[in-house]
Amino acid sequence: MTDLHGRVALVTGAGRGQGRSHAVRLAELGADIVAVDICRDIPSVRYPMASPDDLAETARQVKALGRRIVAREADIRDRAALRAAVDEAVAALGGLDIVVANAGIAAFGAGDPDQQFRDTIDVNLVGTWHTLEAAVPHIRARGSGSIIVISSSAGTNGKTSGISGGSQAYVASKHAVIGLMRNYALDLGRHGIRVNAITPCGVDTPMINFDRGNSLAEEAVQLSWDLSNVIPVPYIQPGDISDAVVWLASDASKYVTGVVLPVDAGYALK
């Protein structure tokens, strides 16, 4: 059984969805948690973002498992604020071993294409870079660790591009974070730090199903996007991605670095 006792994990976008699932699963296996979320809406994003109450619920679930958690509201686009939050949490918990750079947005649909593009790149790419930059000095001090970047099946193909500034930026940013992952993997390997990426297909979270009957998946059908999977499921669940996260975080993958791991029901095969 995977044992993460004695380790500390940073999870961004931890207020709900995949982020909460990753935080809770890591805590179930013994890790203490640094949970970060913006906890406010971004105007170019159509669906409501996580709230302070959502982040508090993540903290409640982690504490119910007997693990420590430091939960902070921070915008990953704000490098100084994010670094301050991470530094404070690491000081409280005694170190940092695992990073799950999960926070991201999808600013699809009607709206100002310039604003959608900039916001998406700023969150998904620049924010991921800020996360790694804030975390790496703490992990390097440990002498080993694991960084996991959550990309997307859109990060290995362009099937959702060409509709709006936001969708074009989503595809571009998810490709770009894979390049970022590879660069960090090359740089940090000598320090015993592994860096990998996961590329999920559609995951049943509020980003996709923000309103049953008004979902990105239904919009995709109307626009003739093919978002179907080879394994015939419409979505996978956040816990399916968490399974991959805990494997990459654990010693079971101690020689795995620089890889792109599809957890996508075969979507990338098409």
Helix/strand/coil (H, E, C) string of 87-141? Answer: HHHHHHHCCCCEEEECCCCCCCCCCCHHHHHHHHHHHHHHHHHHHHHHHHHHHHH
**Structure-model confidence comparison of residues 132 and 206, the more confident one:** 132
pLDDT the model gives residue 211: 52
User: In this structure, is residue 54 part of a structural domain?
Assistant: yes
User: In this structure, is residue 258 part of a structural domain?
Assistant: no
| CATH at residue 18 | 3.40.50.720
Q: Per residue in 52-68, pLDDT tens?
A: 999 999 999 999 999 99
Q: Per residue in 183-195, pLDDT tens?
A: 999 999 999 999 9
Percentage of the residues of the chain whose pLDDT score is greater than 70? 91
User: In this structure, is residue 229 part of a structural domain?
Assistant: no
183 vs 209: CA distance, rounded Å? 33
CA 269 to chain centre: 23
Q: Per residue in 138-180, pLDDT tens?
A: 999 999 999 999 999 989 987 654 567 888 999 999 999 999 9
pLDDT the model gives residue 214: 46
Confidence of residue 201 (pLDDT cuts 50, 70, 90): confident
Label the pairing between strands 32-37 and 145-150. Answer: unpaired
User: In this structure, is residue 123 part of a structural domain?
Assistant: yes
**Structure-model confidence comparison of residues 47 and 260, the more confident one:** 260
User: In this structure, is residue 265 part of a structural domain?
Assistant: no
Q: How many domains does the chain have?
A: 1
Structural domain including 161 reads 8-199+240-252
Give the residue among 264, 150, 133, 254 at the shortest CA–CA distance from 194.
254
DSSP assignment letter at 236? B
Confidence of residue 269 (pLDDT cuts 50, 70, 90): confident
pLDDT the model gives residue 45: 93
For 17-21, 107-111, 127-131, which range has the lowest pLDDT when averaged over its residues?
107-111
User: In this structure, is residue 210 part of a structural domain?
Assistant: no
Q: Per residue in 85-107, pLDDT tens?
A: 999 999 999 999 999 999 999 98
pLDDT the model gives residue 206: 82
Give residues with Cβ within 8 angstroms of 3, minimum separation 6.
29, 30, 250
Given a cut of 80, whether residue 23 has pLDDT beyond it is yes
User: In this structure, is residue 149 part of a structural domain?
Assistant: yes
User: In this structure, is residue 14 part of a structural domain?
Assistant: yes
Which residues participate in catalysis according to the annotation?
A: 170
